[in-house]
């Protein structure tokens, strides 16, 4: 998904879904980058200059943050100048717009809507990976324990530790502490001078430290029970 960016030598607009006096198909609307400002009636043009739609100026750059466009509170001087010359209302060049947008998208109702939308899109995956596949694998695991009980003891210990180590290393990589593949909140290409920090990265750092502690405890516990396993497996 490409987010709106200010024009280098003019002023771009993003307009609402075309309806009413705007005779434009959806495909044409998309092909025009959602911009049909020149087709507006005088009343609609004046309304847009008051930031009341249906078209809105692209003055602030934005980047794709987890598949939603997040504004950067740094107005384009060229676009802002064109906007002022057209008689548009005054636009504050500070963090007010950023705080207003974040207040809207971080509200409880907005977050709940996103959760419901995510569940609606991913319910087949949830059913398969959360119910059917675990049920099938658990049956296979029980059968292996039934017929290979002695070997499964060691296999369980080895697989458990390998899983813990793998998850911990993955957290280190995505946290940017190991290798060159850190997690980034920005999707796709963006201005290299634009840096957006997300709460998810801080959470991932905490998760990495927690997984390190769990890995150490799991590894030491496995060493501690080796002797007991050696004593118990002949009985099985």
Give DSSP secondary structure letters for 47-106.
HHHTT-SSEEEE-S-EEEETTEEEE-S---HHHHHHHHHTTPPP---STHHHHHHHHHHT
Percent of the chain whose pLDDT exceeds 90: 19
Structure pTM?
0.48
For residue 192, the model assigns a pLDDT of 45
Q: 68's torsion region: left (phi>0), alpha (psi -120 to 50) or beta?
A: beta
What's the pLDDT at 199?
57
pLDDT at 167: 93
H/E segment holding residue 171: helix 149-174
Q: What is the per-residue pLDDT for 212?
A: 95
Which pLDDT value is given to residue 94? Answer: 62
What does the alpha-carbon distance between residue 57 and residue 41 come to, in Å, rounded to a whole number?
A: 17
Tokens 């634009």 -> residue: 194
* Residues of the chain scoring pLDDT < 50: 185, 187, 192-196
C-alpha pair distances (Å), 44 with each of 3, 20, 52, 217? 24, 11, 9, 66
Tokens linked to 95: 């963090």
Taking alpha carbons only, the member of 165, 166, 167, 159 closest to residue 204 is 167
Alpha-carbon distances, residue 227 vs 3, 217, 220 (angstroms): 60, 17, 13
CA 53 from chain center: how many Å? 28
Distance CA 56, CA 35 (A): 9
Percent of the chain predicted with pLDDT > 70: 82
Strands 55-58 and 68-71: unpaired
Q: Do 59 and 76 meet the contact criterion of CB atoms below 8 Å apart?
A: yes
pLDDT at 62: 80
Q: pLDDT value at position 8?
A: 85
pLDDT of residue 112: 81
Rounded to the nearest 10 degrees, what angle do helices 149-174 and 133-147 cross at? 140
Q: Dihedral sign, CA of 85, 48, 50, 103?
A: negative
Give the pLDDT score at 193. Answer: 42
């Amino acid at each position: 998904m490409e987010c709106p960016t200010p024009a280098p030598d003019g002023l771009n607009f993003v307009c609402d879904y075309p309806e009413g006096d705007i005779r434009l198909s959806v495909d044409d609307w998309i092909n025009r980058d959602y911009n049909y400002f020149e087709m507006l009636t005088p009343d609609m043009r004046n309304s847009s200059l008051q930031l009341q739609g249906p078209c809105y100026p692209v003055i602030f750059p934005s980047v794709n943050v987890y598949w939603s466009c997040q504004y950067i509170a740094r107005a384009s001087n060229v676009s802002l100048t064109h906007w002022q010359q057209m008689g548009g209302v005054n636009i504050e060049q500070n963090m007010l717009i950023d705080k207003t947008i974040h207040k809207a998208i971080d509200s409880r109702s907005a977050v709940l809507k996103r959760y419901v939308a995510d569940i609606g899109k991913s319910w087949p995956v949830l059913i398969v990976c959360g119910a059917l596949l675990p049920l099938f694998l658990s049956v296979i695991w029980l059968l292996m324990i039934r017929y290979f009980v002695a070997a499964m003891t060691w296999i369980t210990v080895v697989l458990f530790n390998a899983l813990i180590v793998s998850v911990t290393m993955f957290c280190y990589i995505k946290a940017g502490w190991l290798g060159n593949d850190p997690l980034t909140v920005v999707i796709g290409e963006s201005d290299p001078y634009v840096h957006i920090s997300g709460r998810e990265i801080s959470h991932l750092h905490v998760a990495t430290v927690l997984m390190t502690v769990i890995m150490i405890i799991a590894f030491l516990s496995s060493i501690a029970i080796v002797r007991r396993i050696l004593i118990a497996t002949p009985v099985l």
